[in-house]
Chains A and B, each alone.
Chain A
């Protein structure tokens, strides 16, 4: 009987240890989720903004270049 009680206690200890591992996994999942969230905001919007403005700058440079080339040709 006492052996069974001891075995049961061991199971409870094991259970608590597994619970701890699960909780540590959940914390890690939250950390990964935060990293993924940061890609969506602010990283992607910032990149979009940066390359939109770069694209516009290149387009206006192209337009200015074309204007000036036309003027030179005229």
Chain B
């Protein structure tokens, strides 16, 4: 009987003191875990944001490089035109030299920058991700990069909205 009474007392104490204390600890732990996850999420989100900014800047650099290549190419075309005007006599050797050493090289550079000739299908545009990047013109790569950036930024904005909602809870 004594033992039973002692057990009852212990159980009552457990019910009044220990259980609420354990519940409070569990609540605190849950709160800490959620806070920690929120912190991680916000830190990760900031990291994503700065990565996206750096990537956009890098993309702008690429765009500048493409513009500068087109300008360089235009200047070379002017130089080559002047050269052709200077040597306008009939000379098969010269014509072959100009075609092999200048025009063909310029055409290849133009194709590597802007894809196939304007008005024709750019076959490189149709290449998908599985094809090596080396096979693609800068113009085609740029289009692919823009599409990927847009889709990624869309996903980021969607996540951002959900993160803001989660922060409110």
Question: Residues of A with Cβ closer than 8 Å to B?
Answer: 1-2, 4-5, 7-12, 14-19, 21-26, 28-30, 32-33, 35-36, 38-40, 43-44, 47-48, 50-51, 54-55
B48 within 8 A of A: yes
- Given contact pairs A21-B145, A36-B109, A51-B91, enumerate 8 new A-B contacts (beta carbons under 8 Å): A12-B44, A26-B62, A29-B138, A40-B76, A40-B79, A47-B102, A51-B87, A55-B87
Contact B141 A21 (CB under 8 A): yes
Nearest chain B CB to A42's CB is how many angstroms away?
10
Question: Residues of B with Cβ closer than 8 Å to A?
Answer: 34, 37-38, 40-41, 44-45, 47-48, 51-52, 54-55, 58-59, 61-62, 65-66, 68-69, 72-73, 76, 79-80, 83, 86-87, 91, 94, 97-98, 101-102, 105-106, 108-109, 112-113, 133-134, 138, 141-142, 144-145, 148-149, 152, 155-156, 159, 162-163, 166
Contact B145 A25 (CB under 8 A): yes
Q: Which residues of A contact B83 (CB under 8 A)?
A: 44, 47-48
Nearest chain B CB to A4's CB is how many angstroms away?
6
B contact face: mostly helix, strand, loop, or mixed? helix
